[in-house]
Amino acid sequence: MPTVTLNKTVFEELVGKTLPLDELKDRISMLGTDLEGIEGDEIEVEIFPNRPDLLSEQGFARAFSSFIGVKTGLRKYDVKKSGETVIVDASVKEVRPYTVCAIVRDMQFDDEKIREIIQVQEKLHTTFCRNRKKSAIGIYPLDKITLPIHFKALPPNEITFQPLESDKEMSGMEILQDHPKGKDFASLLEGKSKWAIFTDVNNEILSLTPIINSHKTGKVNESTKDVFIEFSGFDLTHLKVGLNILTTVFADMGGKIESMDVVYENETITTPNLEPTKKKLDLAYVNKMLGLELSEQEAVELLAKMGFGYENGNVLIPAYRNDILHQADFVEDIAIAYGYENFEEEIPNVATIGKEAPLEIFSRKIREILIGLQLLETKNYHLITKEELNERMNDETDVIPLQNALGEHNHLRNAILPSLLKTLSLNQHHEYPQNLFEIGRTFRPGDSETGVLETEKLAMVTCHATTDFTQMRQLFGSLMQSLGLHVTVKECDHPSYIRGRVGNVYVNDTKIGIIGEMSPSVLENWGLVVPVVAMELNLEMLFELCS
C-alpha cells in the first residue's frame, strides 16, 4: 500500500480546522487509513489501494474535513468549456488507444505546490496506473504549447526530442537505452513497432507516453499559470476517474478547470465530467450488515460525513471515487462515519469454537489418498484464457471474462482440466509418466448475488504412452472404495473426449463428474504427443454424498 507524506500546515488549512495532536492522530486512524506518524510538519499516512483520491494533501484533506464535520456532503466543482480539442489518430489503436484531457488555469505554483503535484503524480503512477502499465499521466505548461493537441503513434526512428532533465535531444531508442526513466519503463514498449506521442499543432513533441515528458514543453515551474493534463492508457472508464482525481486536486489548489473535446475516429468525448453518479441506497441491507436501526435521515447524515450527496433515495457519488461498486461499499463508509468505536460489543448467542472447515478436512483426505496412489498434486491459477477454456477443449460452454483485464489471462476457469492440460503441455521436457491431480475453485455464470457460482472440483490426469481408460477407472475406483462409495459410469458424448471412451460418473444416481480419454484433436490443440486420460468431478457434491 502506498505511503504519502503530507504537509501538515497545508493539510490543516485545507481542512479548515486545527485539531489537538492526539485527536488528529485518532481521527486520521479512524478514517479508514493507517497513520504511520506525525513529526513536525509532516504527516505520514498509508492509503489503501481502493482510495487513490486520498493520495494528495488536497484529496486527503477533502475527505478528512467531511469526516470531522467541517465541510460535509458532496463537493461541487465547476468545469468550463475551453473549446479546445485533442485529436486522437487511428495509429494509437494497437499501442495505447485512449486518452482523456483537461486544462487548468490560474494556478499559483511555488516549490511546495510543485512538490505536492510531483508526489500525487508519482503515487498515482505507482498504484492507480499500475506502474504505468494501465495508464500514464502527463502535465504540461500550456504557455509552451500551441493547440490543438495530437495523440498519435510513430515508429521509434521518427521520434526525436529533448527528454525531461536531459541536456540534449535524443532519439526514441536513445531515450530507452540512456535516459533513467527510459531504462525504468522500457519494457512497456518492448515489441511495439510504433510508440505513442503527444504533439502540438506545430508538431512539437510534448511527451513519449508512458515514458517521459519533453524538457521544452513538459516541465512545470513557478512561472507556469495554466496547465494541460492528459491521461493515456487502455481503459477509458479508468482514465476518466484518474483525470477527475487529478483535476480536483488542481482545483483545490485554486485552479479553474476547463474541459477539452477529445476527437476519436468515430466519436468525440468531452473530459473531464465531474458530475456525480447515482446509486440507490438499500437502507435495510445497510442496517442488517451493521446491526443498526438507522433512519434514512441518519444514514444521509453519515454519508455526508464521507463526502456523498443524497437525492430521492439515491446516493450521489463523487466523480473522483472509483471504489463504490456495491451496497457493501456504502456499508463500509457508513460504518466509518458512525465510528467503529461506537459499535457495541456483543457476544454471539451461539458459542462456537474455531475449527477447520469440514470440506477442507475432506479435501485433505482426498489429497492423501491420491498421493498414496502415486499422483502428483498441482496448483494452478484461477485465471486462464478463453482460447484454453473453449477452443483448445473443443468446448463452447459459457465462460466468465474479467471486466478490466490487463493481460491475456482474462477469464475465470469453469473447469480444472484445461489447467492440468496446460501443465502437461509446459512440462513435456520432463520424463513420463506424468500423473497429476488438482483440487481447486471453478466459476460459472449462475443465479447468485454476484452472478457467479463458485464450486470446488477435483480433476485427475494420467499421461504416458500406455495409459488408457482402464487405468483411470482403476485409480478412481480405488479413491471411491477408500471413501466407501459405489460408483457407476454411463457412456456419454463430450467434444473433449474420444467417442465410446467417455462416461458420466454417478454415485447413488447422482451425476458428479466425467471420465474419459482425451480426443486426438484436443491433444493436438495443446501440442501433446502422448495419450491423456482425465477425470473431473464436483468435490462439494462428493462431500455431501459422503456425509
Q: What is the pLDDT along the chain (547 residues), one digit of tens a residue?
A: 789 999 999 999 999 999 999 999 999 999 988 999 999 999 999 998 899 999 999 999 999 999 999 999 999 999 999 999 999 999 999 899 999 999 999 999 999 999 999 999 999 999 999 999 999 999 999 999 999 999 999 999 999 999 998 989 999 999 999 999 999 999 999 889 999 999 999 999 999 999 999 999 999 999 999 999 999 999 999 999 999 999 999 999 999 999 999 999 999 999 999 999 999 999 999 999 999 999 999 999 999 999 999 999 999 999 999 999 999 999 999 999 999 999 988 877 777 778 888 999 999 999 999 999 999 999 999 999 999 999 999 998 888 888 877 777 889 999 999 999 999 999 999 999 999 999 999 999 887 777 889 999 999 999 999 999 999 999 999 999 999 888 899 999 999 999 999 999 999 889 999 999 999 999 999 999 999 999 999 999 999 988 7
CATH topology of domain 358-546: BirA Bifunctional Protein; domain 2 (3.30.930)
Do 3-67 and 277-339 share a fold? yes
Top-level class of domain 277-339: alpha beta
Distance (Å, whole) CA 143 – CA 189: 30
Residues ≥6 apart with Cβ < 8 Å to 545: 485, 507, 508, 510, 512
Interatomic CA distance for residues 164 and 260, integer angstroms: 25
Q: First vs last Cα of the chain: how many Å apart? A: 43
Listed in order, strand segments (DSSP E) in 76-121 are: 79-88, 98-105
Q: Provide the 3-class DSSP secondary structure of residue 489.
A: strand
- Residues 155, 184 contacting (CB under 8 angstroms): no
| CA dist 7 → 14, 40, 119, 246 (Å) | 11, 10, 11, 18
Please report where in the chains the cell 482440466 appears, as a residue: 417
> b or e along 232-252 (b: 16 or more beta carbons within 10 Å of the residue's beta carbon)?
bbbbbebbbbbbbbbbbbbbb
Neighbours of 177 (CB within 10 A): 12
Domain over 3-67 is classified CATH 3.40.50.300: no
Dump pLDDT digits (tens) for 261-278.
999 999 999 999 999 999
The domain ranges of the chain are 3-67, 79-271, 277-339, 358-546
**What pLDDT sits at residue 396?**
87
The pLDDT of residue 320 is 97
Q: Which three cell numbers stand for residue 313?
A: 433515495
Cis peptide before 210 (omega within 30 of 0): yes
Q: What pLDDT was estimated at residue 450?
A: 79
Q: What is the DSSP letter of 344?
A: P
CB contact set of 25 (below 8 Å; sequence gap of 6+): 35, 38
pTM over 0.85: no
Q: How far apart are CA 517 and CA 533, in angstroms?
A: 4
CATH topology of domain 79-271: Phenylalanyl-tRNA Synthetase; Chain B, domain 3 (3.50.40)
